[in-house]
């Protein structure tokens, strides 16, 4: 497999008919929804699901996406989307990298980086990460 970094968290995807736009390929907005799905599933695997976010009155909110669309996905394509937590300040910010890969031909369709900030759900304001975030997300930190 041609992953950019070691030990990725991976989800499997298939390009559905409703993902296709007027140009005949997967729409760029669909790719963004896949990034969110992958990040959430990874968070859940780390024990940080929506219920835990609510209990802690904290969440990791997207403040920036940087996306390089490298190749098109087409209806029926079976894809794999990987994510890694590559940076964090152990206070407010965390950065994830993503790579979307088509195993059939070994093509990387997308590389992305997303910056998150920890917020207090009740106020929407930035707030320090609780210990549970430090433990959960910290356990997944990889060099990147």
For residue 10 the two structure tokens come to 């991976």
The confidence score (pLDDT) of residue 144 equals 62
> Is it the case that residue 4 has pLDDT exceeding 90?
yes
Banded pLDDT at 1 (limits 50, 70, 90): low
What SS3 string covers the chain?
CCCCCCCCEEEEEECCHHHECCCCCECHHHHHHHHHHHHHHHHHHCCCCHHHHHHHCEEEEEEEEEEEECCCCCCCCEEEEEEEEEEECCCCEEEEEEEEEECCCCEEEEEEEEEEEEEECCCCCECCCCHHHHHHHHCCECCC
Between these two residues, 143 and 122, which has the higher pLDDT value? 122
User: Across residues 29-34, what is the average pLDDT?
Assistant: 97
The confidence score (pLDDT) of residue 109 equals 98
For the chain, the average pLDDT equals: 96
Task: Render pLDDT for 70-88 as a digit per residue (tens, 0 to 9).
Answer: 999 999 999 999 999 999 9
The size of the chain, in residues, is 144
Domains and CATH numbers, the chain: 16-139 (3.10.129.10)
């Amino acid at each position: 497999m041609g992953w950019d970094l070691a030990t990725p968290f991976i989800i499997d995807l298939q390009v559905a008919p409703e993902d296709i736009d007027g140009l005949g390929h997967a729409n760029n907005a669909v790719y963004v929804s896949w990034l969110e799905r992958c990040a959430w599933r990874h968070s859940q695997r780390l024990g940080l699901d929506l219920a835990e976010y609510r209990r802690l009155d904290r969440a990791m909110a997207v403040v920036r996406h940087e996306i390089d669309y490298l190749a098109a996905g087409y209806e029926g394509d079976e894809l794999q989307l990987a994510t890694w937590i590559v940076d964090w300040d152990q206070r407010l910010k965390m950065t994830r990298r993503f790579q979307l890969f088509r195993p059939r031909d070994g093509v990387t369709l997308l590389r992305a980086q997303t910056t998150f900030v920890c917020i207090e759900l009740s106020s929407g304001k930035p707030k320090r990460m609780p210990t549970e975030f430090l433990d959960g997300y910290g356990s997944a930190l990889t060099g990147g």
